[in-house]
Structure 1
Amino acid sequence: MSLIISFLEKVIVVLAALTHQGERHTTLVRIGIGSKF
């Protein structure tokens, strides 16, 4: 499970870096992932 979470986090980081507007969204997603697991 941890590998999947790490992979998802990497994908989110890449997407955020590409959009340059997803920093806040990435933070919210990380908080969501942390609260779920």
Structure 2
Amino acid sequence: MRSEADMYRLMLGVASQDERIRAVYMNGSPTDALAPRDHFQ
């Protein structure tokens, strides 16, 4: 399983190679430091 850091690098790598992608953002519980951790994050 990939870590959050691995997924972040993967998303930014793909976005930086595709000129059609103008922005990348994250939302939901992974962005909230106070959210309880679970297996689905």
Query: What's the TM-score once normalised by structure 2's chain length?
Result: 0.50
Greater per-residue helix proportion: 1
Unpaired segments of 5 or more residues in structure 2? 31-41
Largest Rg, 1 or 2: 2
Q: Secondary structure at the match of 2:3?
A: helix
Q: State the identity as a percent.
A: 3
- State the 1:36 CA deviation: 1.8
Query: What's the TM-score once normalised by structure 1's chain length?
Result: 0.54
Unpaired segments of 5 or more residues in structure 1? none
Report the RMSD for the aligned CA atoms in angstroms.
1.8
Distance 1:14 1:5 in 2: 14
Count of residue correspondences? 29
